[in-house]
A and B are shown apart, each in its own frame.
Chain A
Amino acid sequence: MSLTHYLVLAAILFAIGATTVLLRRNAIIVFMGVELMLNSTNLLLVTFSRIHGNLSGQVLAFFVMVVAAAEVVVGLAIIVTIFRTRRSASVDDVNLLKS
């Protein structure tokens, strides 16, 4: 098995994550789609690090993880705040700025 299989798997996961963001209405599931995209990118980075024999890819994946953790904290706080004010976690209901 060549290492390209990992890359193709990461690409498939990324596409499914992007489709989740496009299709789902529940803000939490949309957020999980974003997480899936970040994870597939990490797999890509780790595989490239192995292809090139260079650990910089792993370091970059590590930083992606840390930033993703911070992003999740703030994003979920925003979702909770929106849910408190609008009693809904659907992205369609956040339309106060719509004319």
Chain B
Amino acid sequence: MSTLFTALPAAAGALTDAGQTSTAEAVLFWTLGPLMVLAALGLLLARKAVHAALAVIFIMISLAFMYVAQGAEFLGVVQVVVYTGAVMMLFLFVLMLVGVDRSDSLVETIRGQRWVGVLAGLGLGVVLAGVVGRATYGPPVGLVDANAPSNPEAVAYLIFGRHVLAMEVVGALLVTAALGALVLTHRGRLTAKVGQRERAERRLRDGGHPVSLPAPGVYARHNAMDVPALLPDGSPLDSSVPRVLRVRGQEADAREYAARIDRVLAGGWAVGAGTFTSDDEYRGGPGGAVAGGVVMRDPAAGPDAPVDGTDAPTHDEEDGR
């Protein structure tokens, strides 16, 4: 730490004999100063709070530059860490919490408040600038002697020496502030906590499905969630197909699968050394594979609707989708 600060040019904060700053510092001031005033006006005039926050962040970083240029290196680093790093990030978090799009209302609740405010601000600025600008301070001393070992060391001697009590009190203040923020943002629970048990009891009370829904009848040859599972009597169970597929009308017809199962059960699997590679082998298989008839009943087609191998091409089209 000490080497970092002694590595800085020793002229940081040094003054000429006439009490003037170095040219480099003047250039820094005249570059950053007008931009800071513009950014401050941006805070005053920006419609959106996020833009105002960005303007303030710019001002704070520029202030850190000025602190370092004035020989207050420790304060410059603390300014970046505390203000831009913590305080303004907190502001941005709260902005996101409150709503970024929320902008000011333009309705004046007090009539003429705007002009009175502008006038008061201008007056304050003129008075302050006039007072601090026209007062005489005596010859500026500069910090070269006061920063003798290095600026952080000299500041540390003061903080932990003469002002150690204030340091302790400030620590207590920080703890109190953290506790206060916790208490203020704590939200008590208005209703009872709903856990797993309560949810299960409510489901049973409302007469809903007590357990999870049945899985669809996924057949091994067809990677499909759209085939309904079969009930013991062979009728398809519509609730086993995911609701989205049902709403879209992408539910597959269970009859063709049933027909194919019947073909397999009737001995069709024996063809080709027990392997089926395509639907053609079904069709070329021993007769009677189709004759097994329909186990499935299609409610739309009626109880006697014939189901045979002609369903297979339709199914192949479905495979392709």
Contacts and interface: CB of A to CB of B under 8 A. Distances in A.
Contact of B122 (A15, A35, A36, A46): A15
Given A11-B133, A69-B86, A89-B102, A19 B159 contact: no
Given A54-B141, A66-B82, A77-B185, 8 more contacts: A9-B29, A11-B125, A28-B95, A49-B72, A50-B70, A55-B146, A63-B166, A83-B98
A26 B120 contact: no
Secondary structure at chain A's binding surface: helix, strand, loop or mixed?
helix
Contacts of A63: 163, 166, 170
A11 B140 CA distance: 19
B213 to A, nearest CB: 39
A78 B184 contact: yes
A44 B46 CA distance: 26
Interface residues of B, number: 91
B75 interface: yes
A1 B75 contact: no
A56 B115 CA distance: 39
Contact of A8 (B21, B133, B142, B180): B133
Interface in B99-124: 99, 102-105, 109, 113-114, 116-118, 120-122, 124
Interface string B44-62: 1010010011001001100
Contacts of B15: 3
Interface in B241-264: none
Given A39-B83, A68-B87, A76-B94, A59 B20 contact: no
Interface stretch (B35-43, B189-197, B270-278, B301-309): B35-43
B237 interface: no
Given A6-B29, A28-B98, A39-B60, A51 B141 contact: yes
A22 B82 CA distance: 26
Nearest to B147: A55
Contact of A26 (B13, B60, B102, B125): B102
A-B pairs, top 4 by smallest CB distance, nearest first, are A53-B141, A19-B121, A15-B125, A70-B177
A13 B37 contact: yes
Contact of A61 (B36, B75, B184): B75
B40 A17 contact: yes
Nearest to A16: B40
Contact of B181 (A58, A62, A73): A73
B43 A29 contact: yes
A68 B71 CA distance: 22
A63 B164 CA distance: 11
